[in-house]
Structure 1
Amino acid sequence: MSLDHLSTELVDLRCPYCDAHIHLIIDPTDDSQEYTEDCEVCCQPMLVFTEGDQIVRLAREDE
């Protein structure tokens, strides 16, 4: 299996819980995504909304 077609982007953001600088890896080949990812600092679950290669919104899961 060739992995030449795989592409990811590293995005710098701030956690909606602890306001720490975090890094997320997104797949710019997907038109839009919605998923949950834990903050790498405080481990709280964040909702991540993307469109193409851009993070549209980060939200607290408890909102």
Structure 2
Amino acid sequence: MLDTRDIQCPYCWETFELVVDLSVAHQVYIEDCYVCCRPIHLIIDVIEQGECVIQALSEEESF
């Protein structure tokens, strides 16, 4: 089940929509910001049907 969520870039602070697959309980991947093109480390945890927690981290924060 795909859904969209708003996230904020940890570099330029712009908000943009991210497509999230809610059928996968735990996801970790890198997505480039649509505005500044810098890599955002995403950690997504689905906690309930249709609900999720998204962490959008810079490269410095993720390691």
Q: State the TM bucket, normalised to the shorter chain.
A: 0.7 to 0.9
Report sequence identity in percent.
32
Residue in structure 2 matched with residue 22 of structure 1 by the alignment: 16
When the two structures are superposed, what TM-score results if normalisation uses the length of structure 1? 0.81
Max Rg structure: 1
Q: Which runs of 4+ in 1 moved over 3 A?
A: none
Gaps of 5+ in 1: 1-6
When the two structures are superposed, what TM-score results if normalisation uses the length of structure 2? 0.81
Q: Counting strand residues as a fraction of each chain, which structure ranks higher? A: 2
What letter matches 1:23 in structure 2?
Answer: E
Q: Counting helix residues as a fraction of each chain, which structure ranks higher? A: 2
Alignment of 1:4-23 (within 5 A): 7-23=1-17
Gaps of 5+ in 2: none
Of 19, 27, 30, the residue aligned with 1:33 is 27
Q: Look up the SS of the partner of 2:60 in the other structure.
A: coil
How many equivalent residue pairs? 57
